[in-house]
Amino acid sequence: MTSLMYNYVAHIPTCSGIDIALWDLAGKLLQQPVYRLLGGRFRDTVPMYSHGENLNMLDKASCRAWAARIRARPEGFTVYKTNLHEALGVPSSVFAPSLTSAQVRQVKTAYENAREAVGDDIDIAVHAHGELDAPSAIQVARAVEAMRPAWFEDPLNPVFHQGWLDLRRSTTIPILTGEKLEMVRQFRPFLDSGAIDIPHPDLAFAGGITGVKKIADYAGLSRTPVALHNVGSLVMTYANAHFAASIQNLFRVESALAHAGRYVEAMAASNGPVVHQGEMQIPAGVGLGLDLSPDYLRKYLLPGEPFWT
């Protein structure tokens, strides 16, 4: 039946989850890893980055203790992103779009402390949550520029607007965003205008493997690198690894591996993630290569929540 009614917009995160599951199923049916279904792999390992945890950036002793902890981890991550709200000494729930001059100086000091603690062989990225207005984002970029950040992530409201262009033109720090954007249509204005240096889609929100492949291909037309946002489960970590192996213009992949308690790693019954010198091996096996531990997952069900197998 045809209709003149406009189509309703699909819930893209729901479609993303179904898409990832279907790629895994296709791999299992065809007895092939997902990266091969995507055309093969450009790399055997995937460069990843992690997060600054339990870090008081305004305290030099805390920064030095954090540096010692991350250097001792066997994964050997060499890139960490640290949160702007920690540099400001406020909870992540505090929304502060306009910073005072004193706060900007505080941010500068905080990131200088982190840089001093880790030295030059570990990269630090500045991570916001889309909370700043354009003038404050420009001031923060100028304040931390001498620290040589790896990138400035999500400084502004995620919708495309003139402020993104103003920020991009004001700094030499690479600008990265995209975890809240859906499908190639929402990334196009950022890429077409040159408002960002690195798009940062999330497979779980931007259209799954199929949707993000279109984003990466579109970015590849202008040799723009693509980073992948991921703070999700072992399923998302393996999906990101397969996808990242299959695209030529990969920058880095975010992961929640090596976090306190290693809750992502604990989801694997076997064939767990292998990371060395900040690079994750592509999981072996067909599909995504997942072998999840039902017992571990059941422990975290909400009361009355069914267990899906």
Establish if 43 belongs to a structural domain.
yes
| 283 closest CA partner among 247, 251, 237, 229 | 237
Establish if 35 belongs to a structural domain.
yes
The one-character DSSP state at 268 is: B
Least confident interval from 49-53, 115-119, 234-238, 287-291: 49-53
pLDDT of residue 93: 66
Interval 12-25: pLDDT, tens: 999 999 999 999 99
| 225 closest CA partner among 201, 257, 189, 193 | 201
Establish if 58 belongs to a structural domain.
yes
Instruction: State the residue range of the domain holding 126.
Output: 16-298
- Let me know if 170 is exposed, middle or buried by CB neighbors in 10 A (0-12, 13-18, 19+): middle
Establish if 5 belongs to a structural domain.
no
pLDDT of residue 207: 96
pLDDT of residue 5: 65
User: Is the pLDDT higher at 126 or at 96?
Assistant: 126
Interval 204-260: pLDDT, tens: 999 999 999 999 999 999 999 999 999 989 999 999 999 999 999 999 999 999 888
Name residue, tokens 């695209």. 247
Establish if 309 belongs to a structural domain.
no
What's phi and psi for 236, nearest 5 deg? Answer: -70, -35
> What's the predicted TM-score (pTM) here?
0.92
State the Cα–Cα distance between residues 196 and 187, nearest whole angstrom: 10
- Average of per-residue pLDDT values in the chain: 93
Establish if 181 belongs to a structural domain.
yes
Distance of CA 300 to CAs 79, 205, 274, Å? 30, 23, 24
For residue 195, give the CATH number of its domain: 3.20.20.120
Establish if 150 belongs to a structural domain.
yes
Confidence of residue 174 (pLDDT cuts 50, 70, 90): very high
Domain count within the chain: 1
User: Is the pLDDT higher at 301 or at 218?
Assistant: 218
> Taking residues 153-172, what's their average pLDDT?
96
Establish if 3 belongs to a structural domain.
no
